[in-house]
Structure formats: structure tokens, C-alpha cells
Amino acid sequence: MKNQKKNNHSVRREFYGTCPRDCPDGCSWIVTVEDGVATKLRGNPDHPFTKGRLCSKMKSYLEYAQHPARLLYPMKRTGPKGAGLFQRISWDEAVHEIAAHLQSAIASYGAESVWPYQGTGNIGWIQGINSAGHRLFNALGASRHSPTICSVSGHVGMSYTTGSAAGMDNEHLVHSKCIILWGTNTLVTNQHLWTFVQKGHENGAKLVVIDPVRTKTADKAYLFLQIKPGTDGALALGIMQQLVQKKRHDVAYLEAKTLGFQGFKNKILSKWNLNTTAAACGLEQGEISRLADLIADSRPMGIHLGMGMQRHAFGGQACRVISCLPAVTGDFNRLGGGICYSTGETYQLNKRALCGDSLRKKPARSLVMTRLGHALLEENNPPVKALIVTAANPVVSNPDQNRVIKGLSREDLFTAVIDCFQTDTADYADILLPSTMQMEQTELGDSYSHLYLHFNEKAVAPPGECQPHTEIFRRIAKKMNLPQPELYASDEELIRNALNSDHFSMKTVNLRKLREKGWMRPGWPEPFQPFINQFQTKSGKFEFASEQAERNGHGIYPFYRSSSTASDPEDGSLVLLSPAGNMRTNSMFSNSPNHSKAGVPAFLLHPDDADQRNLKNRTLVSVWNERGSFRAQLQISDRVKPGTAVSHKGHWAKLFGGSSVNAVVEERDSDMGQGAVYHDTRVFVSDLVSSKEPYQL
């Protein structure tokens, strides 16, 4: 708690907190509470990264918490799965139902028939995907949950070169002379980073944006390269070849700090001249040459690499290739130089203790988050019989929406959903449990864009009978008569377990200090340059040649391989990208009043493509392929390239015509880490009249 004031007969208090959403910024905030009611939410002005600002979504978070459709009580299904028909029941009855179905599934099919399906609706350490329910499901021996929905391919790809995705500190972009925002619409999806980009520009940096879409961020660039989707790796190889050809690479650094550069240069880079690169990427040769010259003349170069570009068939390899660029220039050794994909790996909390890994007595299979449809319909060793969904909306967020719905519709599948609202996924639940929102619970938060750890103090009592995830899992454990004391640890005990880490960076971190100001920086050296002395690879060097990658079937050297989106088929199909928009975080806020005013989902299409199909602006269209279809409003725009279309992710299907963009996305693994391939999608588009499809909102 920040402070306490008494005015007349009222009591006014302020509590430190943090945003739990799946956003890189990890905002620190202050909640004002008067007489037990949260009356104001503002950014924490003392936070070094977020600097007192909140995004447009979170500015109305208090109102969203009071949404009339908020789930307040446990519910039990009364109609067919998917109909969304429920009746209120007691907590005791709800927990009894869940415990009984878990015990029945385990008795008949084994513990691995239980899948604790956790989403990124909360990415915190206590209530979120990092640990909520882990102790219970470890004790039960349930299947493990593999969270592949976001960034896994890039993490694996970069592990082969640098050993870690946690490269430069994003705050050090103020020292860069060339800032490259690669595959990130920073002004929309990483807003607080923009402060440091602007400061870098004031200090003389040139801003480069690389993206298939001319975004708001691209409008601010000194140089914008609008590449074909999925060709990021090809562009990086072409740039490096130009630097080597012009003798602008850092020979001394390459000889001292890297492994395998000569082989990489001779076997890979030599194939990527200007003509080859331009043809692959859909660029002019001059654009590539200009970027290479800018990099050569503007040391240090700092790259912030977005996560959308690795949601392709060969996204992991693309990240592996791009990470080579600061090694070729030697910028890993310079303040303001290098690459940052995610700072998440800098938080060295004691996850084993927090999650109760010792409670699991034998190994269990891992089920891939983004292969939910496959697992529910085809996995049979054993089949999934009980699904506990926490802070996830896979009907909207997962690939192959229709396949996911078919799996969730199984009558022999027991599904419990824990959420704040009756989402599209909640409609398929047997039991629906109401969870708390952030100001109503205790949490420990981090970020994947900065280096600060946050404490979120419970500020107000939850409405109705809402409970935090931790309490829900404690109740289930008690109902199942599980004896392990770790299953009943309080939230504060869980935080202390997490902070009790042997890692040197955590030695100065404790709960008392976190409570005092709401955040603190773990004890990493300042400035944070993790690769200044050595890399986190087996050799200790940057590895152009990786024996581990070769053993895993990814080639000893980084390379480029085109995906289906990089080709130009003759069937008239379009590449569909489904990036994040400004109004939602994944599927969250899709039911907010502000979002509802925005109306039908948009489908951006280049004027040439619209003319070829005789489509008119602002008309309703059907977007489809062999997997499914969704409806949208056509927006003709030159912000996309010919052959490419954009429709933002996260729309609830039941609010917008019964399906959404992931109805057309294939449930398929990327090259590394079993990541999803959302942007490896081809579709057709036609007006609703000619397609003879009814349109209903």
C-alpha cells in the first residue's frame, strides 16, 4: 500500500499494482480506493520504463471490472455444449463436480487424461500462467501444458546463436545510432518502448521499420521496408552479405567472439546477392543496399525483434538468422547495440519451488497448447477426459477454430472454465467458475520488454463470489483430500517461495522492498549487456555454427526457407496476417463497450486486389479457405501490399457472426518449438452476396 488518507468520514488509500495482461510493457500502476471502492487507476510515475502512462485499454479497466456481464458466481451447464446455458450453483457443488470428474478420469484413464489448459489472460507468477494450479496438477500427475501460442519458435531459434533471447536492455536504445523495429508495431503493441525510441532519435539515431504492413509505427520511420510476409530471414541474409561484400563487417569481433562465421559466409551468405534478396522479399535492390549502408555507417545498431514475424512455418529459423546481424557488425559489444526479442529470461525466480515440481512423482507427456483440436479429437494414449481451462479463450485464440469447437463439443469430455466473463470457450464448459481481476488479488508480475519485477497488492474485495486462481485450486485440492501441505500455501507464501532463488540477480529482491514502491530491478549489472563478455552457448561464443541445431534437424548454419506466404500462387489466394490491434489484448476486451462501438471486424485489402475481385469499400465480405470462413467489413487500403490482407485477431466469434479469423488458420507446428503458424495462412475473399452466405450480428 502506498499511503492512507482520511477525508472527513471517508478513507482513501492507494495500492501499488501491475498489469497482468499478455503485453510486453508490464505496466506499473497505482489504484486509488475510497471506502473500499476502486475509484481511480493511474500509471506509476516513478516507474523507469512505463513512466506513469497506461494504454487506452487499461485506462478503462476499472469500468471493465464492473461490466454487467462479469461472472460473479459458479455456474453449471443446463443446455447443449456451446449454447451458453447455465444455472447458478454453490462453490461447494462446483468444486465437488470438478473433483469428482478429475478422480473419475484418473481412475479410468490415468492422470495424463487430465489437461490443465492455461492461457495468457494472466501472465503473472502467482495467479497466472507461470504457476497457477501447477502444484495441484503436479501432485495429480496430470499432463503437462506446453504454452506454444506466442513466442516459442523465436526463443528456440535464438538459443542456437546467443543462447538466450534476453539480449540488450530496451532502455539502451537511447544509445543506438540505428534503431531497427523488426516486425513490431511498437506504437500499438509496445507503447512504452516508444519513449526510448524517441530519445534515441533525439540523440541522432535513424529509425528503420521492417514490416509487411505500413503501420502507424512505419509512418514514423526514416526508412521503411515493406517486405513480403515470411521473408524476414532472407532480408537479414541479404543485408549481411552486403556488409561483408563492402567489407563493413567487424572482422576482429567475428574472429574473437564468434564460432563458424567463415562457413556461414561461404555456404549461406554467398547465395544472397541483391538480386536474389530483392526478388525473395518483394523489395527494390536499392532499398536493401540503402539499409546495409545505414547500418554500416550508424554504429551501434539496436534491433527490437517482434514476435509476429516468427509465427510462420520457418519462424524459428528466421529469428536465428536475424540474431546474426549484430554479430556481423560487432554491435553485441557496444552499449546500445545488439538485439532484444524478450527480456523474460532475465527473471530468475525459483520456478521449481513455486510450481512444486517435487510433487510430481513420474514424468508425464506434454500437450501442445496450439494443437488443442488435435489433442481433443485424436489423442488416445490416453484420451483427454478432463480439461481445466484457466485464463484462456481457445475458441477465439487457437488455430483452426472449427476443429477446436468440435473437440470441446465432445459429450465425454468434462470441461471446467475459470474466467471473468462468459467467453466463447466458456459456452462449452460443464462448470464455469468466476475469477478475480487484478485489483482484487495478490500477484507478482514481470515483463518481456523491461527488467523490473512488480508486486500487485490486493486493493479491493472481489464482487459476488469471485475467487483468485490460487484459492480455486486450493479448494479443489481440499475436496480431493490431497495431503501435501504445499497445495495449501497462501499467496504470500507462494511469493516468498518464488523470490527464494539462488541466482545472484535475486539476492537483493525481497517482498518488503517490493511492497514499498511496487517494483524493483533485480540485481543485474548496470548497464545490462549480457553478451559483453560471453554468450550463453556451450562454446561461450556467438554460434553461427551450432552443433545442437544440427542435431535437432535445423542445420548447422542459419538459413532461409520460404513458406507458403512467400510464394505467389496462381489460384487467386491471398496471404492473411492477423496481428494485434489497438483495442484488444488477444481476445480480452472484445466484449468491452469501447470495442463494441467499433463494429464488424475489418479486412484490409490492397486496391489492386479489390479491383480484381470487383469488391467495394466498406461492404461485407466472406473470407474463407478449406478450413472455414469468417465475415468482415472490407477496408481498401494501400497500407498492405498486393497479395496480402490483414484482419486483427481476438474478436469473439459469438459477437461477430459466429466465427472469427482463426477459423481459417491451420493447426500446424512451426519449425522450432511447436509454435503456431498464424501468419502462414492463405485465403480467398468474396462479397457476401456472391458467396450466398447470410450475415448476422
Could you write out the DSSP letters of every residue in 585-647?
BTTBTTTSHHHHHT-SPEEEE-HHHHHHTT--TT-EEEEE-SS-EEEEEEEE-TTB-TTEEE-
pLDDT value at residue 692:
45
Secondary element (H or E) of residue 294: helix 285-297
Residue at which a domain ends, from 65, 90, 117: 65
Residue 528 in domain: no
Please say whether the beta carbons of 369 and 147 come within 8 A. yes
Mean pLDDT over residues 358-370, rounded? Answer: 98
Please say whether the beta carbons of 588 and 60 come within 8 A. no
Domain match, 312 and 360 both: no
pLDDT value at residue 613:
97
Domain match, 325 and 398 both: no
Contacts of 665 (CB under 8 A, 6+ apart): 399, 400, 401, 578, 627, 676, 677, 678, 681
pLDDT value at residue 455:
98
pLDDT of 695 strictly over 60: no
Residue at which a domain ends, from 65, 96, 115: 65
Mean pLDDT over residues 314-334, rounded? Answer: 98
Domain match, 319 and 419 both: no
Residue at which a domain ends, from 486, 505, 520: 520
CB atoms within 10 A of CB 567: 12
pLDDT value at residue 3:
60
pLDDT tens digits for range 522-559: 999 999 999 999 999 999 999 999 999 999 999 999 99
pLDDT value at residue 57:
83
pLDDT value at residue 167:
86
Q: Give the separation between CA 343 and CA 449, rounded to whole angstroms.
A: 5
Eight-class DSSP state of 111: G
Please say whether the beta carbons of 305 and 182 come within 8 A. yes
Lowest model confidence (mean pLDDT) among 53-57, 129-133, 477-481 = 53-57
Residue 557 in domain: no
Query: pLDDT-based confidence at 594, cuts 50/70/90?
Result: low
* 178-182 vs 144-146, strand pairing mode: unpaired
Mean pLDDT over residues 637-653, rounded? Answer: 94
CATH number at residue 383: 3.40.50.740
Mean pLDDT over residues 37-63, rounded? Answer: 93
Please say whether the beta carbons of 173 and 304 come within 8 A. yes
Eight-class DSSP state of 213: B
Domain match, 146 and 162 both: no
Mean pLDDT over residues 289-303, rounded? Answer: 98
Q: What is the DSSP string of 415-481?
A: EEEEESS--TTGGG-SEEEEB--GGGS-EEE--SSS--EEEE---SPPSTT-B-HHHHHHHHHHHTT
Its sign, for the CA torsion 614, 608, 182, 323, is positive
pLDDT value at residue 591:
77
* Domain with 55 in it: 3-65
pLDDT value at residue 696:
33
Domain match, 190 and 319 both: yes
User: For residues 124, 126, 132 and 138, what is the CA-based torsion angle, rounded to 10 degrees?
Assistant: 120
Number of independent structural domains in the chain: 4
pLDDT tens digits for range 436-445: 999 999 999 9
pLDDT, the chain, mean: 95
Residue 558 in domain: no
Residue 538 in domain: no
**Grid cell of 562 as nine digits:** 520460404
Domain match, 79 and 218 both: no
First to last CA, the chain: 45
At 661, give phi and psi (nearest 5°): -60, -35
pLDDT value at residue 590:
78
Lowest model confidence (mean pLDDT) among 38-52, 571-585, 641-655 = 571-585
pLDDT of 694 strictly over 50: no
Question: Strand, helix or coil at 373?
Answer: helix
Residue 550 in domain: no
Lowest model confidence (mean pLDDT) among 1-5, 243-247, 465-469 = 1-5
Domain match, 624 and 604 both: yes
Domain match, 139 and 176 both: no
- Nearest-5° Cα angle at 307, 576 to 209: 80
pLDDT tens digits for range 406-425: 999 999 999 999 999 999 99
Domain match, 474 and 380 both: yes
Residue 346 in domain: no
CATH number at residue 624: 2.40.40.20
Domain match, 108 and 180 both: no
pLDDT of 693 strictly over 90: no
pLDDT tens digits for range 143-160: 999 999 999 999 999 999
pLDDT value at residue 165:
86
- Cell 473470407 appears where? 623
Domain match, 443 and 460 both: yes
Query: pLDDT-based confidence at 563, cuts 50/70/90?
Result: confident
pLDDT of 5 strictly over 70: no
Residue 643 in domain: yes
Domain match, 385 and 488 both: yes
CATH number at residue 52: 2.20.25.90
Residue 577 in domain: yes
